[in-house]
Structure 1
């Protein structure tokens, strides 16, 4: 029971992070769902052995719901800049399919350290931007994404995020910041762009299960662990309601500093 209450709190936190920073909660969700499955299944059982895969699948499904709700809120506020979303979203979906399949075969250690390297570079870049541009830049000088950023960048974002079961905001937000968008706009764009990778990744898990079905137990639908999912959905909705009024109150500089802190916490959480 305690773990499910913790999942409810984690869901609330993921909702807050989704609204304020574009994080759909994967870094919070995956470890907790993994631990919950391991503790509630018999050692040596198929569910116990595939706990991490189930945690990623559950996180991706939750990401669809959180991202959709957050995107709707951003849409109502008029914050979605469509030229930045398409065609990048299509390439992210392609990358998500590749990343999900790759997660079945690639070394988890390789994925982990490649992502750690990316996070270090991104944190340094964000800190450097804070030093180089102490005053907020005008968003009117923002540029559109290049063809390479949309295609190659989109595939990489989708592949890495889907393979790790996390939202792509840790890559999309820095990408949009480099284009000159402010934090509020960058975070707003991160939410709808998390949806194609989450949808593609979830579908890939479903198809994979159809071709290689395994019996995980009564609390599973395919790879999805629905007791945890329900707690996370309820908590996420509450978290979004809490964070909604604050999304427009953070200054760009404070917003980015908070993002740097969050990226640093993510980095240490996976080391």
Structure 2
């Protein structure tokens, strides 16, 4: 039953990867925490590690099938990508050392603050430049913020899109462009985070949890089984959603994830 549910959630992570640039982190973390509840305090640590592996596959595949005319907006962002990776490596190491309860409450607080930010600050629900902005008009993030964004994203297992999408919206991009560009940025964070997770010390109480390092391979496989076909279909035939409704649905998904995590905190 757990596997069936994980495949179903994988379908949802495929949708969020394409529509919101999440790569699966925000959706995968609460579900893996639930599926591995038997690990007790270590469930959150395993969830963030498993989320990183899922994001590598989802974000990598989504990036590969994204039109080049959109990806050109990241031209000249090499330093940003490097600093995202360095920050992600540090954040993933910090997750192994931090108390599980701290990571869980930090996850909830991070999402809640993001919801407040996109609702209260101008430029997200109503971008400064409306839909149709030139994809290469601006960089999604200054390179200097790459390390902190990567560190926070890897620490929480969220991929970073919750920071990068609002930033790109405020730079004038449509939701379609902002969410598509979030995937290669997520990939830069997820690869080093996954490497650290796979090298993590095994959990003694997890003999039946199918772990490789700190990654739950069974959960990751089930999530990807559901996600990858959905990404292929939606990238080929993306739904046409009005930009403002698109932005509100992003906020709604963040709120749903926050509510889902509260009983687990």
TM-score, normalised with respect to structure 1: 0.82
Instruction: Give 4+ residue runs of structure 1 displaced > 6 Å after superposition.
Output: none
CA deviation profile, 1:2-33 (whole Å, cap 9, x unmatched): 22111101000000110111111112211211
Deviation at 1:84, TM superposition (A): 6.3
Structure 2 match to 1:28:
27
Are the counterparts in 2 of residues 15 and 236 from structure 1 also a CA contact under 8 Å? Answer: yes
Cα–Cα, structure 1 residues 129 and 111, in superposed 2: closer, same or farther, change >3 Å? closer
What is the alpha-carbon distance in structure 2 between the residues aligned to residue 129 and residue 55 of structure 1? 29
Aligned length: 255
Q: Contact 1:142–1:181 at 8 Å: present in 2 too?
A: no
Q: Which residues of 2 match residues 5-16 of structure 1 at below 5 A?
A: 5-16=4-15
Distance 1:173 1:225 in 2: 28
Aligned counterparts of 2:159 and 2:225: Cα–Cα separation in 1: 19
Greater displacement, 102-111 / 187-196: 102-111
Contact residue 85 and residue 189 of structure 1 kept, 8 A: no
Offset at residue 49 of structure 1 (A): 4.1
Per-residue deviation, residues 207-238 of structure 1 (Å, max 9, x unmatched) = 4x2xx444431422221111111111110013
Aligned to 2:55: 63
Match of 2:36 in 1: 37
Change over 3 Å in CA distance of 1:145–1:213 after alignment to 2? same
More deviation, 9-18/235-244: 235-244
- Name the CA shift for 1:269/1:122 in 2 (closer, same or farther; >3 Å): farther
Q: Report the counterpart of residue 159 of structure 2 in structure 1.
A: 167
Residue from 116, 120, 133 that aligns with 2:116: 120
Q: Larger radius of gyration, structure 1 or 2?
A: 1
Measured after TM superposition, the shift of residue 74 of structure 1 is 0.4
Q: Secondary structure at the match of 1:79?
A: helix
Which residue number in structure 2 is paired with residue 192 of structure 1? 184
Q: Deviations over 1:95-120 (max 9, x none)?
A: 21222223223633356435522331
Partner in structure 2 of residue 44 of structure 1:
none
The Cα shift of 1:137 comes to: 5.3
Deviation digits for residues 61-97 of structure 1 (CA, Å, limit 9, x no counterpart): 010000011001104x532123264322111112212
User: Structure 1 stretches of 5 or more lacking a match?
Assistant: 42-46
Which runs of structure 2 are paired with 1:14-163 in the superposition (5 Å)? Answer: 14-38=13-37, 41=38, 47-75=39-67, 78-81=69-72, 82-83=74-75, 85-103=77-95, 104-105=97-98, 107-108=102-103, 109-110=105-106, 112-125=108-121, 129-130=124-125, 136=130, 139-140=133-134, 143-145=137-139, 149-151=142-144, 153-163=145-155
Equivalent in the alignment of 2:2: 3
CA RMSD in angstroms, aligned pairs only:
2.7
Q: How far apart are the structure 2 equivalents of 1:13 and 1:173?
A: 19
Task: Return 215-224 or 175-184, whichever deviates more.
Answer: 215-224
**C-alpha contact (below 8 Å) 1:54/1:224 kept by paired residues:** yes
